[in-house]
Amino acid sequence: MNDTFGQGADVFEPDPERPLFDKEFEDFLRKHKDNFYRTAVARLVDPYDADEALGDACLVMYQRWEKIQSHPQPVYLALRILRHKITDFHRARARRADREETVAHPPELRILQEMGEQHPLSQALEKLRKVSPQQADCWEMKKVLGREYSEIAEELDITIGAAKTAASRGQAKLRLLLALDSEKKDDS
């Protein structure tokens, strides 16, 4: 390691005392990466945006790896970090919306078609997320991501019965919200 003019470690060389990657973190990420990616895509729709948000979240997860490891529900804590990064991504997008130009790689046609088909559902899900975030999360994990209730309960740190109830109530509220939205469109 070079100490350039007594200013500390050279930023281009890794610190020899600390390994470049923690093997346990690498195994954890490899095991749960698909789950994290599906969650990001479900919230952001565009896979490029989901990949960017997941990359930012993984960096924070690595920085807080010791805290995640010691947590009784490490996947739950990692998902919370991912959700916060997705929120940060939405905020950053809103801040730069007036300065944005066209992207170098437009989204695939399939993604745009899916967005058009899911638009009312996405709006209803966001409304439900504001009123009852747990119901929205449980419904999304069960119906969109195809998870089992036991997985949902473990990730959200709730009981299996609570996960079933929240998903069912979320489904009922989404139906109501979609019906109200379609009535508003019919009245106009």
3-state secondary structure string, the chain? Answer: CCEHHHCCECCCCCCCCCCCCCHHHHHHHHHHHHHHHHHHHHHHCCHHHHHHHHHHHHHHHHHCHHHHHHCCCHHHHHHHHHHHHHHHHHHHHHHCHHHCCCCCCCCCHHHHHHHHHHHHHHHHHHHHHHHCHHHHHHHHHHHHCCCCHHHHHHHHCCCHHHHHHHHHHHHHHHHHHHHHHHHHHHHC
Average pLDDT, the chain: 80
| Tokens 């969650």 found at | 39
pLDDT value of residue 163:
93
pLDDT class of 17 with cuts at 50, 70, 90: low
The pLDDT of residue 161 is above 80? yes
Q: What is the pLDDT of residues 57-89, one digit of tens each?
A: 999 999 999 999 998 889 889 999 999 998 888
Torsion angle, CA of 117/110/147/83, rounded to 10 degrees?
-90
The pLDDT of residue 130 is above 60? yes
pLDDT value of residue 1:
46
What percentage of the chain carries pLDDT values higher than 70? 74
Give the pLDDT mean for 156-169.
Answer: 92
The pLDDT of residue 47 is above 70? yes
Q: What is the pLDDT of residues 94-120, one digit of tens each?
A: 777 666 555 556 556 566 555 555 577
The pLDDT of residue 168 is above 70? yes
